[in-house]
Structure 1
Amino acid sequence: MIFVDGVPFPLSSSPPAREAVVALLDHPYLVSASDAFRESTEVNFSEGGRPRCVYVFQREFATVDPSLVDFAGTDEATTCVGLVIRNRRSGRTSVAHLDSPGVVELGLAQILSGISSGDSCAEFDVHIVGAFEDAPTNLVKENHGTDDPGERDGYSLPLCAKIVECLQRRGENFYIQTLFVLKHNTRMDSEGQTFPIFHGCLVEISTGTLFPACFNGSSRGPDEIVRRIRLTACHDDETWKGKLLDTYDTESDEYRVASCSWSRRQALMASSLQLVSDSQLLIYCSTSPSAEGPNFVPNLRRNFDYLIKHPDWRETFPGRRPRIFKRSDNGNWLRC
């Protein structure tokens, strides 16, 4: 069940999820929260001060304990959503980077299994950030002369609608504190092209305070290339169908990058894509080509290089064992 400003959100008539999103976006409490978030200074996060941080890439999630971790976050979201759910009693917090409606239902189950702590009366604060208005004229479902939902609604609205639908259907009590998505997270240039205002968020685990944030390469944790490759590889790996990718062990404060297999066909595809232009790569590989950051294409090319050099996934995950990294005393991550 969803609560806003301490009151159950009235969805008893079960309106379509898209209409529920529109109603939530216009709720005075969430409008005020979005205005405050928009005026916040974006944190450019680095690990120079050695705070204990856990970062999640696209389709990853991590549950952290306040006794072990100071901050958690994600960025690089355009049509994706950064989801933060925090247990009010224990402070345990999960951060996820959701990229499609197909991972929301099972993903929520994964998230809640780590933060509910067996407490049937647990209450959760929820923050939802990202997913700009990539189809700005189609916010309310209407007849736009097409039967293709991707053309009609873009990618952001269906994802936000699925999150709201699944939160409302579950038995836990979810108190939405931030809904900085769609029209609240959209800016427009002089030519009418829309872009996200913020691409990421950072949560302070001890207090639950949320900040807009971006991360530099050194602050995104270990094993970046392998973790990025898992995003595309998981589409062909039945192990991860409908699930978020396991990345971090809550109890030991270790990154445990769970295995994911890729086919030689994917390695061959990487060889082909490495030959196309940057502009073509954006079109082929992004849901929002004009809104991606400057590192999007270079990161893709690094992934392709790795797949070309390591076409057999078993070289990366022998025995399908996870890749484990421990946090050192100086804050660096060391491979075990």
Structure 2
Amino acid sequence: MIYVDGILIQDEQSSSSLSSSSQGSSLLLDVMRHSVIMSASESFKNLEEKNVSFAESDSESSTKDRYVYIFQSEFAVVNPALVDFVGTDEATTCVGLVIRNRKSGMTSIAHMDSPKVVDLGLSQMLSLVLEDDNAELDVHMVGGYEDVDIKNADGGDFAEPEGYSYPLCCKLVETFQKRRENFHIQTLFILGHNTKLDAQGNTCPVFNGCLVDTSTGSIFPASFDRTSRCPDEIVRRIRVSSSFDDPSWKGKLLDTYDTKSDRFIIAPCRWTMRLVEYVWELNQLSDEDILNNCSTSPSAEGPDFVDNSRRVWEYLLKYPEWSKTYPRRQPRVFERTTDGQWTKC
């Protein structure tokens, strides 16, 4: 069930002859047009983006605050007693989703990249957030932009457009409505609310990430650098690609963080020689061709997209056998140090 400003949003067209995708489109647009959501989006747009860095010269808070960062396809549930901030970025056509229990402060965050992971992914996210069936859950969505023109946005035929952002956002809102939990939409900074034009006239996101203060539930636009996208950046990026061929992760988000112990536990993932051969071919491409072949939104990616891709490929070429990264098929475990950073166990 979806609430906005404490009022239950009724799905008036649920019993009509509209298809499921059309119902999702109609519901999404109705919620996005709600005056409270419009106002919240405008306020969010006016916030200053927080740049998170653990470099000594750039971040005084790295010695005080405890962060959890998640990559694409990952999720984490954090306890405010153990974690001060949780966030994600690099979302263009993806959506950063935050669900927080108002009473306990338990906060779940995911980097959703496909409608196919929404159903099981939401169940994963809620596994440690719900205290009872009547829990009041605040919801924030940041990311996804108008990567295609949304036709008939003012009514009529809600045909699902081509592209990535719109179908994902529709699926998320539609699934919230169908579930029995109480979801209070606070931030819906997606699609048109999160779209601007670049210098070449291409649409691109206003913000690509978010950061949540777990003690207060406040959310801010945010970006992270290489020092704060941790721990185990390269291996976790590889896992995003290799998990596509692993049936055990089908329809699921990648679980990386252990809530109770405040540790990252990166489960073993296998990569094949076929993947290694493929990335060797990709690594021969020009930067422009890498963007066009490897991104769902070539004109909207951050300046480090190609560099990050090449670093992943170079790791795979250096360690083509996955067992070198996961000796004895054991997970890679990282625990927090006294200064808030991470060390491998």
TM tier, smaller: over 0.9
Structure 1 counterpart of 2:232: 223
* Number of equivalences: 330
Q: After superposition, where does 1:242-261 map in structure 2 within 5 Å? A: 242-261=251-270
* Equivalent residues of 1:138, 1:153 under 8 A apart: no
In 1, distance between residues paired with 2:297 and 2:106? Answer: 33
- The alpha-carbon deviation at position 153 of structure 1 amounts to 3.0
Which residue in 2 is equivalent to 1:280? Answer: 289
Larger mean CA deviation between 299-308 and 316-325 belongs to: 316-325
**Contact 1:53 1:71 (8 Å CA) reproduced:** yes
What does residue 50 of structure 2 align with? 43
Q: 1:192, CA displacement in angstroms?
A: 3.3
Q: Which moved more, 1:80-89 or 1:45-54?
A: 45-54
CA distance in 2, matches of 1:182, 1:136: 10
User: 1:314: how far off?
Assistant: 2.0
Is 1:134 the counterpart of 2:147? The answer is: yes
**Deviation, structure 1 residue 331:** 1.9
* 1:201 equivalenced with 2:210 (yes/no): yes
Q: Shift in Å at residue 218 of structure 1?
A: 1.1
Q: Does 1:101 align with 2:108?
A: no
SS in 1 for 2:196: strand
Q: Distance in 1 between matches of 2:277 and 2:341?
A: 34
Which of 319, 329, 334 does residue 325 from structure 1 map onto?
Answer: 334
> Which of 202-211 and 310-319 deviates more?
310-319
How far does residue 199 in structure 1 lie from its aligned partner after superposition?
0.4
The 8 Å contact of residues 257 and 263 in structure 2, kept in 1 or not, is answered as: yes
Q: CA deviation at 1:191?
A: 4.6
Q: 2:96 aligns with which of 82, 86, 90?
A: 82
Partners in 2 of 1:289 and 1:143 — Cα distance? 29
Instruction: Identify unmatched segments of 5+ residues in structure 2.
Output: 15-21
Alignment of 1:49-88 (within 5 A): 49-50=61-62, 51-88=65-102
SS in 1 for 2:227: helix
Cα drift, residue 204 of structure 1: 0.2
Distance 2:333 2:108 in 1: 20
Q: Which residue of 2 aligns with 1:211?
A: 220
Cα distance change of structure 1 residues 318 and 169 upon mapping to structure 2, 3 Å threshold = farther
CA contact 2:91–2:144 (8 Å) conserved in 1 = yes
> Is residue 279 of structure 2 the alignment partner of residue 270 of structure 1?
yes
1:215-245: per-residue Cα shift (whole Å, max 9, x none)? 1111122100000011111111111111100
Name the aligned partner's letter for residue 75 of structure 1.
D
Alignment of 1:275-314 (within 5 A): 275-314=284-323
Cα displacement string for residues 255-275 of structure 1 (whole angstroms, at most 9, x for unaligned residues): 111222211100110111111
Residue in 1 aligned with 2:17?
none
SS at match of 1:16: helix
* Structure 1 position 30 matched with structure 2 position 37: yes
Tell me which amino acid in the other structure corresponds to 1:109: S
SS at structure 2 position matched to 1:96: strand
Q: Is the 8 A contact 1:79 1:132 kept in 2?
A: yes
1:237 counterpart = 2:246: yes
Q: Is the 8 A contact 1:129 1:201 kept in 2?
A: yes
Return the TM-score normalized by structure 1: 0.94
CA distance in 2 between counterparts of 1:121 and 1:265 reads 48
- Give the CA deviation at 1:106: 0.6
Cα separation, partners in 2 of 1:210 and 1:139, compared to 1, 3 Å: farther
Q: What's the counterpart of residue 153 of structure 1?
A: 162
Q: 1:196 to 1:139 in 2, by over 3 A?
A: farther
Shift of 1:32: 0.3
The alignment status of 1:178 with 2:192, answered yes or no, reads no
Q: TM-score, normalised by structure 2?
A: 0.92
Partner of 2:127, secondary structure, is helix
> Aligned partners of 2:179, 2:150: CA distance in 1, in Å?
31
Partner Cα separation in structure 2 for residue 315 and residue 279 of structure 1: 32
SS of 2:204 mapped into structure 1: strand
Post-superposition offset of 1:321: 2.5
Question: 1:322, CA displacement in angstroms?
Answer: 1.7
Q: Percent of pairs identical after alignment?
A: 53
> Which whole-Å deviations, capped at 9, do the CAs of 1:296-324 have from their partners, x for residues lacking one?
00100011111112222222223432210
Distance (whole Å) between structure 1 residues aligned to residue 336 and residue 198 of structure 2: 42
